[in-house]
Amino acid sequence: MTETKSSIRIVVVGALGRMGQEVIKAVVKEPELTLVGAVDRSHEGVEVGSVIGIEDTGVTFSTELGETLVSSQADVIIDFTNPSVVVENVYKAIEYGVRPVVGTTGIPQKDLHAWDQLLREKEIGGIVAPNFAIGAILMMKFAAQAARYMPQVEIIEMHHDQKLDAPSGTAVKTAEMIAKERERLRQGHPSEEEKWAGARGADYEGMRIHSVRLPGYVAHQEVIFGGVGQTLSIRHDSIHRESFMPGVTLAAKKVMELTGLVYGLENVID
């Protein structure tokens, strides 16, 4: 653990997960960040680097978040766990005055609102981003822009088959951004009928969202617009989880300057 005086002290939660391991690698490489804790459900007391295949980090895995936040004097938690545990983790972090940076998807709206209020009371910041990849942020922005001119749109998102939530957080965020740019629209034939339930996908404000889950995928999304005699496809592919790391480390630094919750990485980059 090399620490400079102004270094931001990071606890990674879900540290043994696919994303958590990438986050640890990114944090130890980043001079302005210091890894001070790694929380998961197993490997208590085992040195982190020896498990994930990097140099000695000087940090051991722990299984109790509250204790870790106190003993490590953390500034920020970076949470990539799952929708059923992230909510409690973030309430706990805020209670201890630790800023949450959250990549976990599937968080209920009511908790986002409550976190914002609690963070303001504590006068600290938090960032929740359903997608930390810069290319995905651009894909969402371009899709929202295109919807002004081509309002008929469907979203197809493709992820690995271990993903727990559907549709993906990115698809939800994209649909919300598109919905702000167009009127609610009933798409497809007025008399269309699903022969098999779910064939037309989920319905958000009249736009259809389809979730594909297959081994081999990381995180991918195509937004398809249809107009008279033409279609437009905007597609983003994360082919490795490293694609999310510049956004994650940026958020860990930016969160130190914020008060309240920011939802979406696009709101912390220029």
- Please identify which residue in 61, 115, 132, 263 interacts with ligand NAP, judged by CB under 6 A: 132
Of the candidate spans 47-55, 123-131, 146-154, 182-190, the one that interacts with ligand NAP by CB under 6 A turns out to be 123-131
For β-strands 202-204 and 207-213, DSSP reports them as antiparallel
CB of 205 to ligand NAP, least distance (A): 23
- Examine residue 246 and say whether the peptide bond preceding it is cis (omega within 30 degrees of 0): no
For the segment 49-108, give every residue that binds ligand NAP (CB under 6 A): 80-82, 85, 103-105
Nearest C-alpha neighbor of 179 from the set 222, 223, 212: 223
Site string for ligand NAP, 221-250 (x = CB under 6 A): -----------------------x------
Q: Using the minimum distance from each CB to ligand NAP, give the nearer residue, 85 or 232.
A: 85
Of the candidate spans 36-44, 52-60, 68-76, 206-214, the one that interacts with ligand NAP by CB under 6 A turns out to be 36-44
**Structure tokens that stand for 243 in this block:** 């694609």
Cβ(224)–Cβ(156) below 8 Å = yes
Of the candidate spans 30-38, 68-76, 126-134, 172-180, the one that interacts with ligand NAP by CB under 6 A turns out to be 126-134
- Residue 113 is a catalytic residue: no
Q: Using the minimum distance from each CB to ligand NAP, give the nearer residue, 121 or 242.
A: 242
Neighbours of 46 (CB within 10 A): 13
- Residue 163 is a catalytic residue: yes
Residue 138 is which amino acid?
A: L
Residue 51 DSSP SS3? helix
Residue 112 is which amino acid?
A: L
Please give the Cα distance from 108 to 131 (Å, whole number). 16
In this chain, which residue has its C-beta nearest to ligand NAP?
17
- Count the residues of the shown chain that bind ligand NAP, applying the rule CB under 6 A: 24
**Structure tokens that stand for 74 in this block:** 């953390």
Give yes or no for residue 163 binding ligand NAP (CB under 6 A): yes
Please give the Cα distance from 216 to 75 (Å, whole number). 36
Residues 6+ apart with CB under 8 A from 47: 56, 57, 58, 59, 60
* Active-site pick, 43, 92, 122, 163: 163
For the segment 187-216, give every residue that binds ligand NAP (CB under 6 A): none
Dihedral (Cα; 230, 233, 234, 236), 10-degree rounding: -170
Which residues of the chain form contacts with ligand NAP (CB under 6 A)?
13-14, 16-20, 39-41, 80-82, 85, 103-105, 129-132, 163, 219, 244
Active site residues: 159, 163
